[in-house]
Amino acid sequence: MVVLKILVLISGGGSNLEALCEACEQENYPARIVAVGADVHAPGLTHATERNIPTFVVSPSRFSSRDAWGDALLEHIRMYQPDLVVSAGFMRIIPPHVVEQLSPHLINTHPSLLPAFPGAHAVRDALAAKVAQSGVTVHVIDAGVDTGPVLRQQAVLVRPGDTEATLHERIKAVERPLLTSTVQAIALGTLTLPTQHS
């Protein structure tokens, strides 16, 4: 079996990372996590450390420019030679020159049905727009913000009385299996990453 080497980037609690870790522990799952990176000392890093998966933190505040931060991030990523980089709750825009180096082997999970509600407040924005449904999108990262080619999407209905927290929790419950199945499909070659930026 061909095993895809993945590197996961996070900023927060890392429930998507945890789902990927659990999937990768299954013998017949065709991927393994080679490292987990973060922009802050994210609590979710413990999902990696408790499994002896290497971690690194590259904090933008330690660099004089976004490009310099991007260079350091890329250097760390390259050390592990991943086949695929998965941004799973990584709350930073990756600089275009880094995206160019990794594309199309760089994917992101986003809590809305893109192109609706890009950006850092997707769940809040969906509620404010009073849509009947939102959802989750796994897409290839391109030079824009949440604009890259869509790989997989799944809808989640908005319920009366939903708050940002309740809707986001239901989205994340759908997001975790969608992300792990998307990575699986990429590893198996049943889903091909587009080679051209859209």
Residues forming the active site: 110
Q: Is 60 helix (H, G, I), strand (E, B) or coil?
A: helix
Q: Least separation, in Å, of the C-beta of 128 and ligand GRF?
A: 17
Cis peptide before 149 (omega within 30 of 0): no
Rounded CA separation 24/33 (Å): 7
Look at residue 7 and give its three-state secondary structure: strand
- For the bound state, the minimum distance from the C-beta of residue 55 to ligand GRF, rounded and expressed in Å, comes to 14
155: which strand partners?
Answer: 135
CA dist 58 and 167 (Å) reads: 30
Which of 6, 34, 36, 44: binder of ligand GRF (CB under 6 A)?
Answer: 44
Among 39, 142, 162, 175, binds ligand GRF (CB under 6 A): 175
Tell whether residue 14 is a contact of ligand GRF (CB under 6 A): yes
One character per residue 71-90, x = contact with ligand GRF (rule: CB under 6 A): -----------------xx-
- 110 lines the binding site for ligand GRF (CB under 6 A): yes
Check: CB of residue 4 under 8 Å from CB of residue 183: yes
| Interaction of residue 48 with ligand GRF, rule CB under 6 A | no
Nearest to 167 by CA among 194, 115, 114, 130: 130
Consecutive H or E run containing 107 = strand 106-110
Contact in structure between 106 and 94 (CB atoms under 8 Å): yes
Question: Does 45 participate in binding ligand GRF (rule CB under 6 A)?
Answer: no
The reply on whether position 149 binds ligand GRF by CB under 6 A is no
Q: Which is nearer to ligand GRF, 27 or 148 (CB)?
A: 148
DSSP H helical ranges for the chain:
15-24, 45-49, 66-79, 96-102, 122-128, 164-188
Q: Which of 15, 103, 134, 180 is the binder for ligand GRF (CB under 6 A)?
A: 15
The footprint of ligand GRF on this chain (CB under 6 A) covers a number of residues equal to: 15
Segment lying near ligand GRF (by CB under 6 A), choices 24-32, 67-75, 105-113, 144-152: 105-113
Binding-site ranges for ligand GRF (CB under 6 A): 10, 12-17, 44, 88-89, 109-111, 172, 175
